[in-house]
Amino acid sequence: MRSLALSVAALVFAGGTAWAAEQRARIEVSELFCPSCPYIAASALRAVDSVDIVEADYDVAAQQAVFLVSYDDAVTTPEEIAGAPMQYGYPGRVLDMASGS
């Protein structure tokens, strides 16, 4: 009975990573007032474990950028990613979950 419990526990802990998958989300970051602001915001996004920026669209007039990011959903969440630029004063928000990987 003890070996069965250990086997089940091993499957549960080992199996958690099998369900992890690359996901994509669109993140909007605003209040990008200076030319280096988008770079700083992008650096904050990339600093989150497993995050890669797939595309970026910077709107100078609106002083905001929309980043399409890919990430490992076993490591982070879209909300955590969107919150990362706030450490530099740039509010972020999740626009939507993007399809495709």
Q: For residue 98, name the pLDDT band (cuts at 50, 70, 90).
A: confident
The answer to whether residue 79 is domain-embedded is yes
Residue range 27-79, pLDDT digits in tens: 999 999 999 999 999 999 999 999 999 999 999 999 999 999 999 999 999 99
pLDDT at position 99: 60
Q: Edge to edge, what strands does the sheet with 22-30 contain? A: 52-59, 64-72, 22-30, 92-98
The answer to whether residue 8 is domain-embedded is no
In this prediction, residues 13-40 reach a mean pLDDT of 82
DSSP 8-state assignment for residue 85: G
The answer to whether residue 75 is domain-embedded is yes
The answer to whether residue 9 is domain-embedded is no
pLDDT at position 5: 38
Structural domain total, the chain: 1
Domain span at residue 84 reads 20-98
Q: Could you tell me the pTM of the whole model?
A: 0.77
The answer to whether residue 7 is domain-embedded is no
CATH code of the domain containing 39: 3.30.70.100
